[in-house]
Amino acid sequence: MNKIRLPVVLILLFIGCVSTATKAAEGTQVKHIVLCWLKESGNPAHRHKIIETSRSFRKIPRVLKVSAGEVIPSDREIVDDSFDVAIMLTFANTDDMNAYLEHPLHKDAVQKVLLPLVRKIVVYDYTEVVF
């Protein structure tokens, strides 16, 4: 009888661990933050063009959320307000983010909008734990 119970207990423990890992993964997301410094710093038309182009990223499969906006000027020493536009995208995982990076709509926006208008781009990717 004990020989039968041990495999059953091990299987149940394994299922519990997989279930817990899945629940933990459901509580995380991947954030992709892009900071842009314009060639013509402060140009409102160029800022607007980048923000409007970012809206189209919502059409790319596996993109959960897109937001973009202009820098908030700050006198606080800890705040870097030297950039012009920030874009933030949310994905379920890094595979989804990588698919977005290879999507033709993203590549087209980079070539036709970002590269002509932007002198510097800095990207921050991180795994967000959602509470």
Strand order in the sheet with 65-70: 65-70, 85-91, 28-38, 118-129
* Per-residue pLDDT, 7: 47
pTM: 0.78
Four-way CATH pick for 28-129: 3.40.50.1000, 1.10.630.10, 3.30.70.100, 3.40.50.300:
3.30.70.100
Tens digits of pLDDT across the chain (131 residues): 455 554 444 444 444 444 434 444 567 899 999 999 999 999 999 999 999 999 999 999 999 999 999 999 999 999 999 999 999 999 999 999 999 999 999 999 999 999 999 999 999 999 998 77
